[in-house]
Structure 1
Amino acid sequence: MLESPDLQKYDISSLRGVVVSSYMISPEHKRRLQQIFPDTSNVYGSSESMVSMTSAIHSTEAQKTGSVGYPFPHMEVKVVGDQDEVLPIGKAGEVCSRGWFCFSSYYKDPEMTLKTKGMTGWVHSGDIGIMDNTGHIELIGRKDECVVFKHIGDKVYPSLIIDTANKHQAIKEAKVIGIEDSLIGHEVCLFVELHTGAELTKSELEEYFNEELLFLECPTKYFLIDVMPRVGARGKVNIQRLREIAIASMKE
């Protein structure tokens, strides 16, 4: 919507707000939306459950851009660790929810239902997030996309890299994946698609990240692709295809 060539062709002054749902967007894109639509709010959740929202009344400006909101009144939300233990405020873990809005089961798939909801009814989102002391949740990546440098024990989440990429004027979209490596734990691979007509070399991209982030926060591999591969009716980025591209490149 922000990139639409028709955005400036019409008088949209009467359209005050936009609700962004079921999609993780960067703080930079949220700021751009709020400049055009002042009452923009964010609703976070999946097809299985709607979890939280930002509010003009209950959220600060920083929380509107840096979080996906606080829990709905009818929802319970917790952040858990690898052993399903509830984590303290400010610690990263998987976001889980429970409430009447959550789905009852997958159609004719009890095995997948049990995997997602367990025996307690808590829906595991697969998203890694941090909750603050007001209940607002900051998303920092998908659980299966978080990569670990085993030689130093630190976790590198994709959100910092993606947010940094989105600040570059030439970059239209960015995606980060991790490829296992026997020496360092994972190769952190950044894929970027440029805006039409934009120019950016791989060395320029690497130099940009070295200036913006600490060494251990930077990707280890950079990929410039013409178009992000998509899959499914909703056009999600095809992570498996990105893995194939990265692995093939590393074998060359």
Structure 2
Amino acid sequence: VKPADHIMLTAKINKSYYHSTSNVPLAAVTVKDMLDSVVEKIPDKEAYVFPVEKIRLTFAELQRQVNALATGFINMGLKRGDTLGILSSRATEYVLVQLAAAQIGVILARFHIGLPHSMLENVILKSECVALVVGDNHDDVYNQLMKIIPDLKTTDSGLLPMTGKSKLQFIITKVAASGGRWKSIDDIMNKSNMDPEKDKKLLEETSKMVEFGDLYTIFYTSGSTGPLKGTLHSNEALQNIYMMCGDRYGWTKDDILLSACPSLSHVAADVAHTTPLVLGLTSVILSPGANIQDNVSVIHDERCSLLFATYPGLYNMLYSGNVEQYNCNSVRHILTGASIIPADFIQKISTIFQAKVLNTYASSEALAVSGIDPTDDGKGSFDNVGRPFSHTEVKIVDTNGKIVPINTLGDLFIRSNYVFRSYIHDEDKTKKVKSVNGWYKSGDIAKINSNGYITVVGRNQDIIMKGAQTMYYASLVESILSHPNVKAAYIVPVPDKELQEDFCACVSLNGNTVLSGDELRDFYVANIAMKDYIPKYVMVFNDFPKNATGKIDQIALSQEVFISLGLDTDWLVHGRKA
């Protein structure tokens, strides 16, 4: 080693920049390449188990059904570069549509069920959908579409007339509300089996044109803090990030992953959709709406080794899932993220399942960014979101864009092959968050230590200016969760004549606990040592307002708080900016 190289290799990191390298190279393969490869190696191994639908698919059977559906899509007229939308909570249907579209280079736009009419119409138009899949258990969604697309009521030809606003031509569904006027997924698959040799050749010719860098999917942001944005991702982005997740967490083809995600359309759900093809493991996917006890019984029945669930899902498993009645000792890793989780709850869930809880940081724009290492030697703790995944760079910068010293709060920037290409049809918003050299401005305030561990304290707009003190939502929530009967907490800023801003703590309580907001505030006054962390108001909620993805709707929550407290709602829009 040359002296200069030696100095470079041993230099102490003193700036908030970290580049996570890896011995695992990035792959340059398509979905079809991966499916063909895994079928060749382990054709009879189960790829997916769908407990609600009572369906089990081996890799070989998966390939047969995906090929049949992909061929059917071609025969319908779908081609590389077209966009296919999906509104479904049927896991079997979702996975088949996703993989079949990818086989032929069709981009899958994933829409959240439960969007208001205007928002749903906007995302369908913005995505330029040529066809739209409506889940076979969603008559309500179809009825909603009839209000958005009047031609649905009268068209019997199986083809919608294109207008200047819309490219939509096909609805794919078998909901009763459609009166059988549209082809279903089953219809499309069965038709492709009429001339097997011709169809095989057609699929081969079409799939040869698909490249690993082609656009693959559109994830829509949750809309919890503003308008929905569609993020465009490529084939290579999703395949490679799950390969790096598997490398970080030590997943193998012998693992069985249970996904209990509240929405199949959310970016977090895709880990269970794609990892079987990438790693050869088995995914057990519970369709949203499954009974919470099903989550626990499925762990027992399928001997799941990996569990993916959000905090509300884990909470319900722990307190409503009758865990003690089942043998869950097969679980070794519990993957979670997207919200602040009380330390005592982590201890409980870890003890009950005898598994390590791995906090992960991800977004619709950047996919998975960082995660706790299962072999953590104590350098990290659960107040952070681990180190960046392989082939990922992160930096923390100040308001002038300069990298700050380690352990200093600033704006978190991310650069990797997994970052989204752009917001669909929104160049201005893309330019605001993504630089010409590939850095994505996450909008989160964070810090990083010398070992590369990231601590995220909140969004850059998630702060309270209480007098001269800058208060981050994450720190405030942590204090509010100190009450033993508080299950979840959210922060809403409120005006204050003396301090300019203060905050209301919005909480939900454990089980049958009955406490008033005043009683809770008295507890915080008596037990929180730092005066600034004591809320001006405390409000108790049975249910928080949620958006279509199951996330807390911060805008609706703020409106509800202001109306209940008799505060001027104009302050939310104008007062905070003044």
Name the TM-score, length of structure 1 as normaliser.
0.88
CA pair 224-22 structure 1, distance change in 2 beyond 3 A: closer
- What residue in structure 1 maps to residue 521 of structure 2? 206
Determine the C-alpha separation between the residues in 1 that align with 2:344 and 2:422.
36
Tell me how far 1:181 sits from its aligned partner.
4.3
- What residue in structure 2 maps to residue 217 of structure 1? 533
1:18-57 correspondence to structure 2 within 5 Å: 18-35=334-351, 36-49=353-366, 50-57=368-375
The structure with higher relative contact order (CA 8 Å, sep 6+) is: 2
Can you give the 5+ residue segments of structure 2 that lack an aligned partner in the other structure? 1-313, 569-578
Among 492, 497, 508, the alignment partner of 1:193 is 508
Among 105, 111, 114, the alignment partner of 2:431 is 114
Determine the C-alpha separation between the residues in 2 that align with 1:194 and 1:162.
14
- What residue in structure 1 maps to residue 446 of structure 2? 129
Secondary structure of the 2:402 match is coil
CA pair 73-251 structure 1, distance change in 2 beyond 3 A: closer
1:155 maps to 2:470: yes
- What residue in structure 2 maps to residue 230 of structure 1? 546
- What residue in structure 2 maps to residue 105 of structure 1? 422
Determine the C-alpha separation between the residues in 2 that align with 1:162 and 1:124.
24
Tell me how far 1:63 sits from its aligned partner.
2.0
Secondary structure of the 1:179 match is strand
Tell me how far 1:239 sits from its aligned partner.
0.9
1:158-173 correspondence to structure 2 within 5 Å: 158-173=473-488
Specify the code of the residue in structure 1 equivalent to 2:535. P
Specify the code of the residue in structure 2 equivalent to 1:126. G
Determine the C-alpha separation between the residues in 2 that align with 1:104 and 1:28.
39
Among 557, 560, 577, the alignment partner of 1:242 is 557
Tell me how far 1:23 sits from its aligned partner.
4.5
CA pair 59-137 structure 1, distance change in 2 beyond 3 A: farther
Worse overlay, 20-29 or 207-216: 20-29
Tell me how far 1:29 sits from its aligned partner.
3.5
Deviations 1:128-175 (CA, angstroms, capped at 9, x unpaired): 2121121111121222121112x3x22111222212332323222110
Tell me how far 1:178 sits from its aligned partner.
1.7
Tell me how far 1:230 sits from its aligned partner.
0.6
Secondary structure of the 1:76 match is strand
Determine the C-alpha separation between the residues in 2 that align with 1:110 and 1:37.
47
CA pair 163-242 structure 1, distance change in 2 beyond 3 A: same
Secondary structure of the 1:156 match is strand
Name the TM-score, length of structure 2 as normaliser.
0.41
- What residue in structure 1 maps to residue 392 of structure 2? 75
Identity score, percent: 23
- Asked if the contact 1:174/1:193 (under 8 Å) is kept, the reply is yes
- Asked if the contact 2:547/2:553 (under 8 Å) is kept, the reply is yes
Determine the C-alpha separation between the residues in 1 that align with 2:520 and 2:413.
36
- What residue in structure 2 maps to residue 13 of structure 1? 329
Determine the C-alpha separation between the residues in 2 that align with 1:11 and 1:245.
42
Worse overlay, 23-32 or 239-248: 23-32
Determine the C-alpha separation between the residues in 2 that align with 1:29 and 1:119.
42
Specify the code of the residue in structure 2 equivalent to 1:14. S
Determine the C-alpha separation between the residues in 2 that align with 1:84 and 1:27.
34
- What residue in structure 2 maps to residue 96 of structure 1? 413
Can you give the 5+ residue segments of structure 1 that lack an aligned partner in the other structure? none
Determine the C-alpha separation between the residues in 2 that align with 1:55 and 1:246.
39
Aligned residues: 248
CA pair 143-177 structure 1, distance change in 2 beyond 3 A: farther
- Asked if the contact 1:55/1:64 (under 8 Å) is kept, the reply is no
Tell me how far 1:240 sits from its aligned partner.
0.9
- Asked if the contact 2:412/2:443 (under 8 Å) is kept, the reply is yes
- Asked if the contact 1:174/1:191 (under 8 Å) is kept, the reply is yes
CA pair 230-213 structure 1, distance change in 2 beyond 3 A: farther
Tell me how far 1:56 sits from its aligned partner.
2.5
- Asked if the contact 1:170/1:199 (under 8 Å) is kept, the reply is no
Runs of 4+ aligned residues of structure 1 deviating over 4 Å after TM superposition are 21-24
1:3 maps to 2:316: yes
Tell me how far 1:228 sits from its aligned partner.
0.6
Determine the C-alpha separation between the residues in 2 that align with 1:102 and 1:82.
22
CA pair 104-235 structure 1, distance change in 2 beyond 3 A: same
Deviations 1:79-109 (CA, angstroms, capped at 9, x unpaired): 1222322221111122211011111111222
Secondary structure of the 1:94 match is strand
CA pair 250-93 structure 1, distance change in 2 beyond 3 A: farther
Secondary structure of the 2:380 match is helix
- Output the aligned Cα RMSD: 2.1
- Asked if the contact 1:41/1:55 (under 8 Å) is kept, the reply is yes
Specify the code of the residue in structure 2 equivalent to 1:55. D
Q: Which is helix-richer, 1 or 2?
A: 2
Determine the C-alpha separation between the residues in 1 that align with 2:543 and 2:347.
25
Q: Which is strand-richer, 1 or 2?
A: 1
Secondary structure of the 2:432 match is helix
Secondary structure of the 1:223 match is strand
- What residue in structure 1 maps to residue 492 of structure 2? 177
Secondary structure of the 1:192 match is strand
